């Protein structure tokens, strides 16, 4: 007889600067990880930001390691990737 244990862990990381803020959600279930990132431009002239590049990297073990070139904001100044 054995039992399967369900492992679930949700982590949220936030950061903010003068013109940008971001939120990274990490959902861990049974050894699998999914990521969602939201990046907000807080400055003026959102229309002047055509594309940008971001990169996410864990300092200690490099488990979280992804990014994107040529990302773009919606008209509210938000970028989201699931």
What pLDDT is attached to residue 74? 87
Tell me the C-alpha distance between 56 and 65, whole Å. 6
- What is the full DSSP assignment across 14-30? EEE-SSEEEEEEEEEET
Q: Please tell me whether residue 3 adopts helix, strand or coil conformation.
A: coil
Measuring CA to CA, how many Å separate 22 from each of 1, 7, 52?
46, 26, 14
Tell me the C-alpha distance between 72 and 53, whole Å. 9
Per residue in 62-77, pLDDT tens?
A: 556 677 888 888 888 8
What pLDDT is attached to residue 71? 86
What pLDDT is attached to residue 54? 84
Please report, in tens digits, the pLDDT of each residue of the chain (82 residues total).
344 445 677 888 899 999 899 998 888 888 788 888 899 999 888 878 888 888 887 666 555 667 788 888 888 888 888 7
């Amino acid at each position: 007889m054995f039992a399967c244990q369900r492992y679930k862990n949700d982590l949220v990381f936030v950061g903010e600067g003068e013109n940008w803020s971001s939120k990274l959600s990490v959902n861990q279930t049974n050894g699998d990880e999914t990521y969602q990132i939201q990046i907000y431009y807080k400055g003026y002239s959102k229309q002047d930001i055509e594309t940008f590049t971001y990169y996410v990297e864990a300092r200690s073990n490099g488990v979280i390691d992804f990014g994107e070139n040529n990302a773009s904001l919606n008209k509210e100044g938000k970028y989201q990737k699931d």
